[in-house]
Chains A and B, each alone.
Chain A
Amino acid sequence: MFMNVWKNVRRTRLRTVVAALAAALLVGGAVAQSAPSGTLRVGMETPSKLDPAYASSDAEIAVLNAVYDYLVDVDADNNVQPRLATSWKVSSDGLTYTFELATDATWHDGSPVTAQDVVYTFDRLRDPAAKLPTSDLYADIASVTASGPHQVTFTLKKTNPFFLYDLSDNHAVIVKNGTTDFTAFDGSGPFVVQSYHPDDRMELTANPHYFMPGKPGVAKLELIFFSDPAAEVSALRGGQIDLATRLPTPLYQSLANVKGIARLDVPTNGFNVIRLRSDRAPGNDPRVVEALKLAVDRQAITDAVTQGLGAVGNDTPIGPLYKAYYDPNAQPPQTDAAKARELLKEAGYPDGLKLDLHTPNTGDRPDLAVVLKQQLAKAGFDINVIVEPESVYYGDNKWLDVDFGITGWGSRPYPQFYLNVMLACNAKWNESHYCNPAFDALVEDAGTTLDAAKRVADYHEIQAMLASTGPIVIPYFFPQLGAIRDGFSGYQLKAFAGRSDLAAVHAP
């Protein structure tokens, strides 16, 4: 019956209309979505390292996230979401992960994205010989294979409950098979690079063939680089940029009552760690560690340095953002300067303990150092603050060497990363030189067990250990502060600002 009617309307304009209507019904909402329109201008720090293996700052990751795609993404609530991989299956033993890739994703040069590209990306990042920063993170991958033109299979040496998060590591954007030079920006992502002026700006346009429906929202994306955040805020107020994603607290406060600009504030798990080297004097004396913990007033530091915008820390890198993993009962000893002074005396420093405190000159770290010096002075610590450029603090590997220092760590969607790289005995960046076999056993178990309740218990025990005796102080977790011009919709600031989705933004 239907076919008869269909034949009757052949070669008529009506047939086209009917076909279009049917298509519209089938595709549903997709047709209703409008084409990308308008321009989004984003102010950011100047990025330097755009080879995905080395990119690390918010600005650098924001560029990668616009130009390339991650295999899977992590949303603002820390849930894993599909991106290049539309679906995945995990074997019952937890050792095999099979991903189905989007079949309609293409590189900006027009060629299709295939399983081979994903294999190349992860083989490059995990290559033990190349020693890229990611080689340790992916050391437990046994193999990555293209099990179909659009299917990739990862086999693990041991179980890893956070493997999907590891695959969505900031470095792990999927690059085209064989790429060694990353200046061509041939990604598969929502935006195509039109011009790049490394000291000044990057201009991008919407990828017309982007595989994710409805993205990107804007036709043009301009990333404008600022060396001075005050200039960035002037530009926002003056209408030369629409979005600033990483503002220092005082500048954020200065936008409080500015018409036409909405402020953005999200909690993160990023922190400054004040760490005391624990494998040699004076930090190898538990009394000195305890004195340090007793001397610090974390609430006062949070109020002074973050103007109350941060979340108070408990000397562990597992913060409230990790929900069930976080244990609010794991608390460092109550602030008590007199008791701290007593402990220092017992430890053999009756006239106080003299220490150099090294800190990079970036972010709020110099402020933190000054407040800390004052607090510690009350407990008998004589602190000499040494503020140095990052190129010196990190460049000469001072941060892994000095006795007393402050180091910044960015926000991650899961806690295991910090434990693996900064606190386990043989951790690559074990700056406090902390080494505790019982602690390591818990870290190993939490990082491999597939039993969620067991993992929660492990993390709680780890927090109790670090809060009471770990040679670190984590006084607060950073707030992530930004601001956006009214009329722009769809932007959701993430704890790691660089991973916020610029493709979801619509211009007024």
Chain B
Amino acid sequence: MARFLLRRAGFLLLTLVFTSLLIFLITQALPGDVARILLGREASAQALAQLRAQLGLDRPLPIQYLTWLGDFVRGDWGTSFSTGQPVRELVLSRLGNSLQLAGLTLLIAVPTAVGLGVLAALYEESWIDTVISLASLSVVGLPEFITGLVLIQVFSFRLGWLPANSSIAPGTGLVAALPYLVLPALTATLVLLAYVARLTRASVLVELGRPYVRTAVLKGVPWRRVVIAHVLRNALLPTITVIAISFGWLISGLIVVENVFNYPGLGRLLTFAIARRDIPLLQAVALVAVLGFALANLVADILYAVFNPRITLR
């Protein structure tokens, strides 16, 4: 187990360095000059050159990259090109917001999706199955900005139950923020729902067809117990992996949802950084995102081993 973790940590480190290099190269290839974007169309060539020098953009590319990497490793995430503020605080505060939203989304999405999936499998080919499949498939095809706007229309404008917008002030506590989190979390849930539900349905069906289920039934184990103790334990393995990986996506991939609700998470910060070619900020957000994905994967692997004794982590 220790060796496994060590090896994974090594891989993770390599991934992070590679990602940072890739992001750096991509930002270089993007059209548009950083200084021009920051100072606007009225700025003189002289002012642009001065800003480039101030940001260190006049140095050779390898030096720029290595300096940034060296500082980052030592815990100095640098200063944002566009705001002049320390990157680390900003990214960590937005990460906190993103974790809140991701947590609530999973809290809503997992029981709903797994429940629907199991229900659909248990009542395979009945009207229940048909309704669940149809509903989840029709929702998954809609982009988030549509589902988000529909939810706003219904729950905010029509019913007046929830705020239409989630631009919470910095430092808002979790309890105070909760009502603002519900609609974005529901929107993200709708994206996950169909996928997780159908995956659960498929693996429950596979397990239901296995001989041990018949044995258990014939032995006289109550059906409810067969399903919960035997079928689900095995059927949920792939689902757990998918959920863990989704968590990585929820942390940094909710770009559309966060913009529709103006929620100050990592996704919106990423849009901000890209629009301004703010390389230090962009790097930090991207690395936190990659780290999130990698850790989520790691957790998925460990959980898989815990639930499946046939697998040992080496």
Contact = CB atoms under 8 A, between A and B. Distances in A.
Interface of A: 46, 48-49, 54, 56, 130-133, 135, 183, 195, 197-201, 203, 222, 224, 226-228, 230-232, 234-235, 237-241, 388-392, 394-396, 399
A200 B90 CA distance: 11
B167 A395 contact: no
Contacts of A388: 31
A238 B259 contact: no
Contact of A224 (B47, B167, B259, B276): B167
B167 A200 contact: yes
Contact of B262 (A54, A131, A235): A235
Contact of B42 (A48, A56, A396): A56
Contact of B40 (A54, A199, A227, A228): A54
18 contacts: A56-B42, A131-B47, A198-B80, A198-B83, A198-B85, A199-B90, A200-B170, A222-B169, A228-B262, A230-B145, A237-B157, A237-B164, A238-B163, A391-B31, A391-B32, A392-B31, A392-B32, A395-B36
Interface string B28-56: 00011100111111111111000000000
Interface stretch (B122-130, B265-273, B287-295): B265-273
A135 B43 CA distance: 11
A234 B167 CA distance: 11
A238 B33 CA distance: 38
A31 B164 CA distance: 40
B156 A234 contact: yes
Given A227-B272, A228-B262, A395 B37 contact: yes
A307 B152 CA distance: 26
Contacts of B234: none
Given A224-B262, A231-B260, A238-B156, A399 B41 contact: yes
B264 interface: yes
Given A48-B38, A395-B33, A395-B37, A228 B164 contact: no
B15 interface: no
A231 B259 contact: yes
Given A49-B38, A133-B43, A234-B149, 6 more contacts: A49-B39, A56-B40, A227-B268, A230-B149, A391-B277, A395-B36
A130 B40 CA distance: 16
A49 B167 contact: no
A234 B31 contact: no
A158 B307 CA distance: 85
B170 A195 contact: yes
Interface residues of B, number: 44
B19 interface: no
B29 to A, nearest CB: 13
B83 A54 contact: no
Contact of A48 (B82, B170, B264): B82
A396 B33 contact: yes
Nearest to B166: A240
A135 B275 CA distance: 28
Nearest to A49: B40
Contacts of A240: 163-165, 167
Contacts of A238: 152, 156-157, 163-165
A48 B43 contact: no
B77 interface: no
A235 B164 contact: yes
A130 B264 CA distance: 37
A201 B259 CA distance: 14
A198 B90 CA distance: 10
Contacts of A200: 167, 170, 264
B220 interface: no
B60 interface: no
Most chain A CB inside 10 Å of its own CB: which residue of B43, B149, B259: B43
Nearest to B45: A131
Interface in B160-205: 163-165, 167, 169-170
A231 B145 CA distance: 10
Contacts of B33: 391, 395-396
B165 A235 contact: yes
B260 A396 contact: no
A288 to B, nearest CB: 27
B261 interface: yes
Nearest to B97: A200
A183 B82 CA distance: 12
Contacts of B276: 48
A427 B31 CA distance: 27
Given A48-B38, A183-B84, A228 B260 contact: yes
A54 B80 CA distance: 18
B277 A201 contact: no
Nearest to B277: A391
